[in-house]
Structure 1
């Protein structure tokens, strides 16, 4: 039921596949809703190093092996 009809980034598709909602990522990362919303829906939006680190720390609770390259071409 996640991402109905929306274009999703690799990050968005990853959280959808694992039935994680954006609000969980907001809470666990300490980032704002608009930041997370942009990063899961807008492929032109790239995170800062600090933002990327917070997202990866939160997602590593689920998969300790993820890397930034899994989501962004940086």
Structure 2
């Protein structure tokens, strides 16, 4: 698996984490834009099955859409 240094650092990532890496979005940027804590964003980037609350998910999806991405909840997490 290809990974850029600085983004992903060779670690296994969730769908959400891979999306951020692929689009060069830092965890801090999405935390700032969404209002969701960086620790929550970090947990969401890990491969374990961690799902955000609906409130956090809405904030994250809105932030990504504000960045110009056409994304939805089920692109990253199962319902």
Question: Which consecutive unaligned segments of at least 5 residues does structure 2 have?
Answer: none
> Which structure has the larger Rg over C-alpha atoms?
2
TM-score, normalisation: structure 2: 0.86
Secondary structure of the residue aligned to 1:5 is: coil
Question: Which consecutive unaligned segments of at least 5 residues does structure 1 have?
Answer: none
Query: Which of 1 and 2 has higher RCO (CA within 8 Å, sep 6+)?
Result: 1
Secondary structure of the residue aligned to 2:66 is: coil
Superposed CA RMSD in Å reads 1.2
TM-score, normalisation: structure 1: 0.91
Q: 1:57 aligns with which of 39, 62, 68?
A: 62
